[in-house]
Every structure is written in C-alpha cells, then in structure tokens.
C-alpha cells in the first residue's frame, strides 16, 4: 500500500464491494475533485491492483484529486458474479457514491471517469448517469463491447501493438467522433515498461 492509500469494504449492489482511495500527496491543499478508476476484465484477471489502474489512480492523486478504485463484483473481496457490464456499472456508481459521502465538499463536482480496457466500457455507461468533468480511456475495449460516443475532450491512449484490441478498431470507433487517439509506438495492451510515460502523458494533457 502506498502513502495516502486506504482500502476498505463497503456495502455494494451485489454485497461487499472492495474500494481503495488514493488521496492527493499535498495534504494541506483542498482536493480538486474526485477521479473514479475502473479496472480491466475481471474474468481475465483484472482487479483494482492492475498496474494501469494503479497508475491512473496515482496520476490523479498527483494532480490533486481523490482517486477511487474498486473491484468489480466477483473480483478480489467484492461479492457477486460477472454481469457483462450492467452490474459493474452499478458497482462503479456505488463506489462513487461512497467517495462522495466521505468527501462531502467534493460531492457536487463532476468526477473524472477513467478506465482501462473493460473498465472503459463501464465508464462510458457510468457517463449516462453522471456527467463527467473529463474522461480518460486507456486501451478502450471497442472490439468486444459497444462503447458509445464520448465527450470531445476525452483522452484516449492506445498501444500500437495492442494484442487484445486492434488499433484499427479503435480508429474505426474514434473516426466518426473526430476523436484524437494517442498512440504509444511499440506498445502492447498492458503498457509494460511504459507506465511512467503513460502517467506523464495524462498529466501533461491535464488543464490546470
């Protein structure tokens, strides 16, 4: 567990829901807002401890946000079984509601919605209920799941050599939206060896 990180279990839609909070490193400053982070596919080993999900949380904590990760139902200490994104959307909303309750001063601010792989699909569903400040989609899972259009300022990052979701499929999804896609050359789906670059890229694009 890193500094400023806390892990707990709350009551979720399917039972226990495991949640991790990362607080900003500057403890004297008021947080800028909340950032909700969604992990990759739970049936393929995805959990809130996934390295990309952790990198997203740490990036937003460094930017001054309270970042919340959670385990989808059936992953880690979260109860329930996989629900193809429907129940997982409810899990995300429950984690966000919990965090808003813990940080009441931030409750009315639009959250950042960030996700990796399957988590990007869930976040596009969450955005139907909660209007985001901004979205960050890493390795968007457009090949298997029907990701809907996203706001024009959404940050989309994909690996050139992604072995799970072809770059061409991401372009096909982004093209009708005229949505820019940042491509990491020579990079696979899990961004091995590229996590510091991923953090720098997101932080560099963030408007202060």
Integer angstrom CA distances of residue 162 from 77, 90, 167, 171, 186:
29, 29, 7, 13, 9
Question: Which among 154, 21, 15 is positioned nearest to 96, based on CA atoms?
Answer: 21
pLDDT digits (tens, 9 = 90+) for 179-190: 999 999 999 999
Average pLDDT over residues 122-134: 97
For the cut 80, the answer to whether the pLDDT of residue 14 exceeds it is yes
CA distance 89 to 127: 10
pLDDT digits (tens, 9 = 90+) for 163-172: 999 999 999 9
User: What is the rounded average pLDDT for all residues in the chain?
Assistant: 95
Q: What's the burial of 92, exposed, middle or buried (CB within 10 Å: 0-12/13-18/19+)?
A: buried
User: Is it true that domain 5-205 has CATH number 3.90.1300.10?
Assistant: no
Pairing of strands 112-116, 134-138: parallel
Element (H, E) at 6: strand 5-12
For the cut 90, the answer to whether the pLDDT of residue 109 exceeds it is yes
Contact 38, 145 (CB under 8 A): no
pTM: 0.96
The domain segmentation of the chain, as residue ranges, is 5-205
What residue has token string 């009708």? 176
For the cut 50, the answer to whether the pLDDT of residue 1 exceeds it is no
pLDDT at 25: 78
For the cut 60, the answer to whether the pLDDT of residue 208 exceeds it is no
């Amino acid at each position: 567990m890193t500094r400023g990180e806390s892990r707990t279990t709350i009551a979720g839609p399917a039972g226990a829901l495991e949640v991790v909070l990362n607080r900003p490193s500057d403890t004297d400053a008021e947080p800028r807002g909340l950032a909700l982070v969604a992990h990759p596919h739970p049936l393929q080993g995805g959990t809130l401890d996934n390295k990309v999900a952790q990198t997203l949380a740490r990036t937003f904590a460094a930017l001054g946000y309270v970042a919340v990760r959670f385990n989808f139902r059936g992953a880690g200490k979260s109860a329930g079984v996989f629900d193809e994104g429907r129940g997982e959307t409810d899990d995300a909303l429950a984690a966000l509601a919990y965090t808003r309750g813990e940080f009441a001063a931030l409750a009315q601010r639009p959250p950042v919605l960030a996700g990796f792989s399957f988590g990007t699909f869930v976040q596009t569903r969450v955005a139907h209920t909660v209007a985001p400040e901004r979205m960050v989609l890493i390795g968007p899972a457009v090949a298997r799941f029907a990701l809907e259009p996203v706001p024009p300022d959404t940050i989309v990052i994909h690996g050139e050599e992604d072995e799970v979701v072809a770059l061409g499929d991401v372009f096909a999804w982004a093209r009708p939206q005229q949505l820019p896609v940042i491509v990491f050359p020579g990079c696979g789906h899990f961004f091995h060896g590229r996590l510091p670059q991923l953090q720098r890229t997101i932080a560099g694009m963030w408007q202060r």
